[in-house]
Structure 1
Amino acid sequence: MASTNGPTPTGASLIDTGIFTSLQAKIDEESEIRDQLKTLVDNLSKQGRLTQSVLSRIHNVPSSALSTEVLDPSKQAIQQQVQTVQALAAEGSKYPFYKWNQLWQRDVQHLISNVQLHRWLETGQLVTVEEIGSFFNVPVNVKDQDTFHIAIEDYLLALCTTIEELARLAPNSVTLGDYARPLQISKFIKDIHAGFQLLNLKNDALRRRSDGIKYSVKKVEDVVYDLSLRGLLPKEEQSIS
């Protein structure tokens, strides 16, 4: 009886080419997913540039005009971004979060930072990560399912950006004749710095960024100290500076 396990005839393929056809189908599927998500992310990024452009006016707009020239228009711009985030969350939740989140991570962090800065300019208060989730209408720090959410690391990285922007605002406020704001900024970022010192951070990028907060604290302290030496702090602030 002839063996059925003999050598493969010369010229015959040793591999089923259907394997590669299947792989190409998977590649095409992932490419389509990426394109769909990228369209939303590109829109979010474009809106973010508008928001940032409006908020950047804080460095040359006096406090008396802040509401009409910065806070009101930036609030509208932020609302548009939030709507895009909600659309992104609906689409992104169809797929594994940590496979695709690098597409939108930076833009979402920028949006969170813009919201944090807007809140501080309005009230002098910190917006919590839970409030961010509620405002965006998306989950926060999800652990039991693979869905779109706001990660704690993104919130903290955004906060580092907010602190850097406030540290830049301190000397610019002095230029605009607002001598009270640097002290307000100093108190706020010192509290944030103290809060970060309570954290045991495992994320290398976040640890490096948070280490930089001390330089922002020092920068603003120097502004306040200079104002104090020149006798420019408001009288009600001098006793607590």
Structure 2
Amino acid sequence: MASNNSYMIDPSIFEYLKTTGEEEVVVNDNLFKILAELNRHVSTSQGLLSRIHSTPSSKLQPLLTQVENDGIKHETESVAALSKFASNYPYYKYNHRWSRSVQNVVGTILLTAWLGGLGTESRPGEVGRLLTIEEVGEILQVPVNLKDKDAFHITIEEYLLAMTDITEELSRLSMNSVTMGDIDLTVRISGFIKDLFAGFQLLNLKNDILRRRVDGVKYHVKKVEDVIYDLSLRNLLPQSSGKES
């Protein structure tokens, strides 16, 4: 007759599950606190950037400086805290918790830079500049597109999704720029969004969310084209931009 001990469950199994479960609670609680702070700073940046729709481009620099000092600077600090904490745990176990927040951070940086902020001594106030993913990583002081290390980083998908975000914001700005009499900016936006969409067409997009978002960029292109067409009908386009119609 078999011993009763042969039917006993090893208590270490439940000890392991208890310890693991408690660790996950602690990790999730800490991530919640870090991301809550990060999202507050993102909201500040996005709130300030919303003013671009009522601010002539000739007066944008003070606003962009405020975005950098009151928003992006603090975003960078929170991302550093997130990177330090998250790199202690398996990246792909928790990255879904912060991916959207990081995408929003990248979006505020890309839009600010495109409008002429975040410049260097060699490129002060350069409008129309699209930062590379490496440049975004340098601003945030975190690695990008890591392949050989399980640590926090900015992914290509987050970078591309952020680009689709700024096309939406810029398409809206293209109409508001006309209202403010800044037709040159509208033409510049049109060229940029068209080039960006053409670039997206070269990519083999396997991420369903990204593919849908890129498909949505077509609407932004069409939206800006309608603005350009209307300007051309009224002979308001700069002579050198006639091809935009």
> TM-score with structure 2 length normalisation?
0.90
Amino acid across the alignment from 1:115: I
Q: 1:173 to 1:29 in 2, by over 3 A?
A: same
Aligned to 1:231: 235
Q: 1:227 to 1:94 in 2, by over 3 A?
A: same
The whole-number CA distance in structure 2 between the counterparts of 1:148 and 1:21 is: 29
The whole-number CA distance in structure 2 between the counterparts of 1:40 and 1:21 is: 29
Amino acid across the alignment from 1:80: H
Amino acid across the alignment from 2:105: L
Aligned to 2:175: 171
Aligned to 1:54: 48
Aligned to 1:75: 68
Aligned to 1:119: 113
Amino acid across the alignment from 2:66: P
The whole-number CA distance in structure 1 between the counterparts of 2:238 and 2:190 is: 15
The whole-number CA distance in structure 2 between the counterparts of 1:109 and 1:96 is: 20
Give 1:75 shift.
1.0
**2:89 is the counterpart of 1:95:** yes
Q: 1:114 to 1:138 in 2, by over 3 A?
A: same
1:12-61 CA distance string (max 9 Å, x none):
x8434553343122111111011112211110001110110000101111
Aligned to 2:165: 161
The whole-number CA distance in structure 2 between the counterparts of 1:22 and 1:211 is: 46
Q: Give identity over the alignment, percent.
A: 48
**2:206 is the counterpart of 1:202:** yes
Q: 21-30 or 98-107, which moves further after superposition?
A: 21-30
Aligned to 1:110: 104
Aligned to 1:183: 187
Give 1:234 shift.
2.9
The whole-number CA distance in structure 1 between the counterparts of 2:243 and 2:13 is: 76
Give 1:237 shift.
3.2
Amino acid across the alignment from 1:202: K
1:161-218 CA distance string (max 9 Å, x none):
0111101111111122211211110100111111111101111111111111111111
> TM-score with structure 1 length normalisation?
0.91
RMSD: 1.8
1:77-135 CA distance string (max 9 Å, x none):
11110111111111111111111111111111011011111111102111101111111
Aligned to 1:38: 32
Give 1:64 shift.
2.4
SS of the counterpart of 2:183? coil
SS of the counterpart of 1:104? helix
The whole-number CA distance in structure 1 between the counterparts of 2:30 and 2:185 is: 44
Larger radius of gyration between Structure 1 and Structure 2:
1
Q: 1:19 to 1:230 in 2, by over 3 A?
A: same
Give unmatched runs, 5+ long, in structure 2.
117-126
The whole-number CA distance in structure 2 between the counterparts of 1:34 and 1:222 is: 46
Amino acid across the alignment from 2:100: R
| Native 8 Å contact 2:87 2:150 kept in 1 | yes
